[in-house]
A = this chain, B = another copy of it.
Amino acid sequence: DGGGVESLDYEVVENFAYREEQAQRGKLYVSYLLVVKWFFALLIGICTGLAAVFINIAVENFAGWKFSVTFDIIQKSYVAGFVVYVLINLVLVYSSVYIITQFAPAAAGSGIPEIKGYLNGVDIHGILLFRTLIGKIFGSIGSVGGGLALGKEGPLVHTGACIASLLGQVTCGCAAGVAAAFRAPVGGVLFALEEVTSWWRSQLMWRVFFTSAVVAVVVRAAMGWCKSGKCGHFGSGGFIIWDISDGQEDYSFAELLPMAIIGVIGGLLGALFNQLTLYITTWRRNYLHKKGNRVKIIEACLLSFLTSAISFGLPLLRKCTPCPDSDLASGIECPRPPGMYGNYVNIDAIVILSIFQFFCSKDKEYNDLATIFFNTQDDAIRNLFSAKTINEYSSQSLLTFLVMFYALAVITFGTAVPAGQFVPGIMIGSTYGRLVGMFVVKYYRKLNIEEGTYALLGAASFLGGSMRMTVSLCVIMVEISNNLKFLPLIMLVLLISKAVGDAFNEGIYEEQAQLRGIPLLESKPKYEMRNMTAKEACGSGRVISFPRVVKVSDVVSILRSNKHNGFPVIDHTRSGEPLVIGLVLRSHLLVILQSKVDFQHTPLPSDPRGAGRSIRHDSGEFAKPVSSKGICIDDIHLSSDDLEMYIDLAPFLNPSPYIVPEDMSLTKVYNLFRQLGLRHLFVVPRPSRVLGLITRKDLLIED
């Protein structure tokens, strides 16, 4: 698989074609480009918003229909209800895994490691294709609707990036995806900033911000439209927003201890999660998934059966709890069964009444495990976050759920379906968070403590311990809970859980990227680099270079003989001394070989400004198609006449690639390479002269 990974060229190749285009265009063209970029940002916002709305409506409708059918049937027979429940889930999961395996293999998983890689400068073939987009959208409807222990948020980020890559602005799409998934526009901007882009320019921030704002408006408009009941089971509670505006008002200093404990638990469980999923995915890649698509399909179906069985069966083993005396003052009442509240609106009111005692024989009783297990994840989280519901859950139920769901989430990770880790992470975290909250309520004996607040902190801590994001995660948590008061608490918990997690391993996205052979450059150079020089890093192999005018047959044989993607071009001065005149890319050479128009008979350099020289190519021709393999040397067929001809490389090369002297420390080289998003860097001998110095003053040119 690792073979599909290649670096991206962010560097502008300032060759003749590019320079002439620039010269012809002038300033107006720049304004035109700017307008186009903004228009595209608008489009990306609208499309991502609509995609998110579509996915949400579809998932809610499938899930809502599934639960209402199942409830209908279990009034008569639990066994028949179970069978129907399992079957519906199976069909949904099967459709998802079928789409992925047959149609869009790159759409499996969350896609965030790949997007992270892309924005770090590594291209993974197929990751941003249109078919991946389609596969991602429909696949995640199936896998999430089918009740697996995974979320639709990661895939939405990938969806946004796919949409945006069609318009050439992946960063915007990434932010739009987060903004749409969590209805968190600021969180989206920060996510794109912190988690994905390796090099960030402030003019980009402005546009990313705009895209996120557009998403927010689109989603809001769509939800307003759905409020009138036009969207079936999709109710006002669609999209994950767990409003806890009635949560705890204040916190005492004594509470900081249990909160710190939540942070530590989050760090530990998160690191464990990363480690376990790493083992399991490694095993899957090396053994299971090697055996072909059929195994992948069977695996997903088995998982679906297992998940359905556990989520239906386990609540049956629990005893029912009597509802607390529902006095209006405290606002406590029986937890509502699925279908009543939150995620989807059940149209049939009579059904609702009859299923009120689901799993429980008596009136005024409820099954606490069922409210979180036999429910959509969004509603389950809403129940866990709920305030003013002290003692709603027994600790046994929460523990059972924690263990079972954690295990399910671990083994589901890496299946061949689109799968996000946000919502499962929130589920796991809020469960142990609420458990800690229960202990606090018990031992601190204070009235103003809310278990729901602890659940929120737990969710933050688990995500922090697993994903190791900080600022963006914090803002996302605040935006989804719609309550700014928890900000310092969430910050605290995140700081602790990330620190604890970092002591064990890397974040889940980094680990998965590594596993997939995506070479991410971290923001910080490694410590060892201080004692290494540029020359040592690039090894002692002979540099493969081209002369300025080169025979076609030589080009072909050199390109065949190695896998390098860039080659220095060496010319000679009049006095016969060698001179490096630039860098030519393999991809450009392939374009030249394929088009053949630049072949010439003489081995003498042609006049670059000669007639018709530049109009043979425009720079667009050299642009690499997004996320596809491009041409390969073996695809090009040349006659023996062609092979005898020559090419003058001068018009096509990048005349001034960045250079470093041979004994520069690798730390400095690393900073240069990463900050500028380079692909190739020439290591050259120390210069013999300094022609000038550039200081800040020289760069302050007035318009």
Report A's interface with B, CB cutoff 8 A.
7, 12, 14, 22-23, 27, 30, 121-122, 185-186, 189-190, 193-194, 199-203, 205-206, 209-210, 212-213, 216-217, 220, 470-471, 474-475, 478-479, 482, 484, 487-488, 491-492, 495, 498, 519, 521, 523-524, 526-532, 534-535, 537-539, 541, 543, 545, 564-566, 568, 570, 577-581, 655-656, 658-676, 679-701, 703
Roughly how many angstroms separate A675 CA and B203 CA in the complex, as a whole number?
A: 14
Partner of A690, one of B658, B684, B686, B703: B684
A523 touches B216 (CB 8 A): no
A543 touches B690 (CB 8 A): yes
Nearest-CB residue, chain B, relative to A568: B690
B680 touches A694 (CB 8 A): yes
Knowing A537-B698, A656-B664, the reply to whether A545 touches B690 (Cβ < 8 A) is yes
Roughly how many angstroms separate A577 CA and B577 CA in the complex, as a whole number?
A: 15
A672: chain B residues at CB < 8 Å are 658, 672, 676
A675 touches B673 (CB 8 A): no
List 17 additional contacts besides A535-B691, A539-B698, A682-B687; criterion CB under 8 Å.
Answer: A23-B531, A189-B471, A201-B523, A201-B524, A206-B470, A209-B471, A210-B495, A217-B488, A526-B703, A534-B692, A537-B699, A545-B690, A565-B695, A656-B668, A669-B694, A673-B694, A680-B695
Number of copies of this chain in the oligomer? 2
Nearest-CB residue, chain B, relative to A690: B568
Interface centre among A491, A527, A695 (most CB of B within 10 A): A695
Roughly how many angstroms separate A568 CA and B661 CA in the complex, as a whole number?
A: 14
Partner of A519, one of B679, B688, B700: B700
Roughly how many angstroms separate A523 CA and B201 CA in the complex, as a whole number?
A: 7
Knowing A656-B663, A675-B675, the reply to whether A693 touches B683 (Cβ < 8 A) is yes
A523 touches B203 (CB 8 A): yes
Roughly how many angstroms separate A528 CA and B193 CA in the complex, as a whole number?
A: 29
- Within the complex, what minimum Cβ distance (angstroms) separates A364 from chain B? 34
Roughly how many angstroms separate A668 CA and B11 CA in the complex, as a whole number?
A: 9
B658 touches A681 (CB 8 A): no
Roughly how many angstroms separate A165 CA and B566 CA in the complex, as a whole number?
A: 44
| Selected A-B contacts with CB under 8 Å, 30 pairs | A7-B696, A14-B668, A22-B531, A23-B531, A203-B523, A203-B524, A205-B471, A206-B471, A212-B491, A216-B487, A217-B492, A220-B488, A482-B484, A521-B700, A526-B703, A535-B691, A539-B698, A545-B690, A577-B688, A579-B686, A580-B686, A580-B689, A656-B663, A656-B665, A656-B668, A658-B672, A662-B692, A672-B672, A681-B694, A682-B692
A537: chain B residues at CB < 8 Å are 692, 694, 698-699, 701
- Within the complex, what minimum Cβ distance (angstroms) separates A27 from chain B? 6
B696 touches A679 (CB 8 A): yes
Partner of A566, one of B495, B570, B693: B693
Interface centre among A535, A684, A696 (most CB of B within 10 A): A696
Knowing A470-B209, A527-B30, the reply to whether A691 touches B684 (Cβ < 8 A) is yes
A698: chain B residues at CB < 8 Å are 537-539
